[in-house]
């Protein structure tokens, strides 16, 4: 198992705690309703050439490709299966294919993410040990390379206010036969120079159960992390609790939100017992899905989708906090396809794509969109 295939949720300390009890989905009567207005759709049988966009390739995990949306609705998709990336213009037409691994002035070797820069150009993050962002113009031509400092390797890189934020994970064997993973985050200036770093406490994983055969994807645990133009950085803290910490771009802890999932506070012994029970029942890949999705909004607010909640067909439901960590009314997005899909939200844009699903019989995709872009039209402020 390589170090890049082992990902982790973060446990760290914080300054301010905000506890709340989440109502069951559908109970809230004051959710802000947002309409998803279709801009374009592409059908299942569209002729596309890269792996993640080929429904016949296989069921591609979310971690194996990256999507970024520009302010004008252009979309950049990077695909780690074929080491390729494409640009889709605001009208849904493939406008450019970026260089593949081993070709062009820069070999980006292993694609790990996609992002748009402030000047409108696009970047493909190399998640190998090269630690760089390969920058391309909108016509697909190579522009420059941004080299990153700080930690040895980053598993995630996101845009942040006036720069970037990276997540680093360094696994090693511990004395108990399990794994110890040191986790850190770093913020960068636009030129890749390190602004600040923050080393978080190690997380200990116990030895694997010899009676349970675990696959490599069981260790594909990428911390839920989100950031945006506001400079707020959000990280899911705990492997077993619904808990998120907010940092500023200098990596100073601002506040922590925690959902009250029990009727009373457990003792330390009860807490440890519960954690041990959950480790036996959940593979690591399942643990981090306590929180399904975190979205950093442009105004510093945070939207969160929790795992296990039931959403009506064609709708998404998010809990919401403002930039100060104050709980606000839920957000409901309506008008999406009535089939399961992956959702990327940036600014006022929502990109929807449907991963391959081998459980569907031949012909069941007929008439269904395979990818689509929506404009979010809201009645209330974010």
287-337 pLDDT, tens digit per residue, is 545 778 899 999 999 999 877 677 888 899 999 999 999 999 899 999 998
Query: Which positions ≥6 away from 209 have C-beta within 8 Å?
Result: 280
Contact 80, 112 (CB under 8 A): yes
pLDDT value of position 85: 78
- Residue 297's domain comprises 3-378
- Residue 197: its pLDDT value, please? 94
Give the other-Cβ count within 10 Å of 41's Cβ.
Answer: 16
Which pLDDT score, from 0 to 100, does residue 379 have?
Answer: 56
Chain mean pLDDT for the chain: 72
Mean per-residue pLDDT, 17-37: 58
CATH number where 285 lies: 2.120.10.30
Range 209-233 average pLDDT: 71
- The pLDDT of residue 66 is 77
Mean pLDDT across 65-88: 79
* Per-residue pLDDT, 110: 55
Query: 175-188: string of b/e by CB count within 10 Å (b at 16+)?
Result: eeeebbbbbbbbbb
- Per-residue pLDDT reduced to its tens digit, 86-99: 888 899 887 777 75
Number of folded domains in the chain?
1
Rounded-to-5 percentages of helix, strand, coil across the chain = 10, 40, 50
Q: Which residue has the higher pLDDT, 158 or 310?
A: 158
| Cβ atoms of 77 and 86 closer than 8 Å | yes
Least confident of 81-90, 158-167, 203-212: 203-212
Q: How far is CA 5 from CA 51, 64, 123, 216, in A?
A: 20, 11, 23, 7
Each residue of 49-61: pLDDT tens digit? Answer: 444 444 443 344 4
Rounded (5°) CA angle 152-132-191 = 105
Would you say the pTM of this structure is higher than 0.85? Answer: no
pLDDT digits (tens, 9 = 90+) for 234-263: 988 765 567 889 999 999 999 998 864 443
For the segment 342-382, what is each residue's pLDDT rounded down to a tens digit? Answer: 889 999 999 988 755 544 455 555 555 678 999 999 754 44
Mean pLDDT computed over 265-270: 60
Supply the DSSP symbol for 64.
G
Mean pLDDT of 101-110: 46
Residue 155: pLDDT band with limits 50, 70, 90: confident
More confident site: 64 or 190: 190
Q: State the pLDDT at residue 45.
A: 47
Half-sphere exposure of 300 (CA within 13 A, CB side): 14
- Residue 19's alpha-carbon distances to 170, 256, 280, 330, 338, in angstroms, are 31, 9, 27, 16, 33
Q: What is the pLDDT of residue 302?
A: 96
What gap in Å lies between CA 144 and CA 127, rounded to an integer?
17
Ranges of H-type helices in the chain: 268-281, 284-287
Query: Tokens 């301010």, residue?
Result: 16
């Amino acid at each position: 198992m390589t170090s890049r295939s082992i990902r982790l949720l973060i446990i760290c300390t914080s300054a301010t705690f905000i506890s709340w009890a989440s109502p069951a989905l559908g109970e809230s009567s004051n959710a802000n309703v947002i309409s998803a207005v279709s801009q374009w759709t592409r059908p299942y049988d569209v002729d596309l050439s890269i792996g993640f966009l080929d429904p016949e390739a296989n069921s591609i995990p979310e971690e194996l490709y990256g999507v970024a949306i520009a302010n004008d609705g252009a979309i950049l998709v990077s695909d780690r299966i074929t080491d390729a990336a494409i640009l889709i213009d605001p009208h849904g037409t493939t406008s450019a294919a970026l260089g593949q691994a081993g070709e062009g002035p820069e070999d980006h070797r292993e694609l790990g993410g996609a992002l748009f820069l402030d000047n409108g150009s696009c970047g493909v993050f190399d998640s190998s040990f090269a630690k760089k962002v390969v920058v391309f113009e909108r016509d697909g031509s190579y522009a420059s390379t941004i080299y990153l400092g700080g930690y040895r390797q980053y598993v995630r890189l996101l845009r942040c206010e006036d720069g970037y934020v990276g997540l680093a994970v360094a696994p090693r064997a511990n004395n108990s036969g399990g794994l110890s993973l040191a986790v850190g985050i770093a913020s960068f200036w636009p030129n890749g120079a390190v602004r600040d770093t923050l080393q978080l406490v190690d997380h200990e994983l116990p030895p694997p159960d010899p009676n349970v055969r675990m696959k490599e994807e069981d260790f594909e645990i990428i911390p839920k992390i989100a950031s945006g133009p506001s400079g707020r950085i959000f990280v899911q803290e705990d492997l077993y609790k619904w808990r998120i910490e907010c940092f500023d771009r200098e990596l100073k802890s601002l506040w922590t939100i925690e959902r009250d999932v029990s009727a009373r506070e457990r003792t330390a012994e009860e807490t440890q017992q519960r954690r041990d029970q959950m480790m036996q029942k959940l593979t690591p890949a399942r643990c981090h899905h306590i929180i399904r999705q975190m979205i950093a909004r442009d105004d510093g607010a945070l939207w969160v989708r929790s795992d296990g909640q039931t959403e009506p067909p064609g709708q998404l439901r998010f809990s919401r906090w403002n930039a100060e960590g104050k709980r606000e009314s839920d957000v409901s997005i309506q008008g999406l396809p009535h089939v399961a899909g992956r959702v990327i939200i940036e600014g006022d844009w929502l990109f929807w794509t449907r991963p391959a699903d081998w459980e569907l019989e031949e012909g069941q995709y007929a008439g269904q969109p395979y990818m689509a872009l929506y404009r979010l039209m809201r009645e209330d402020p974010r």
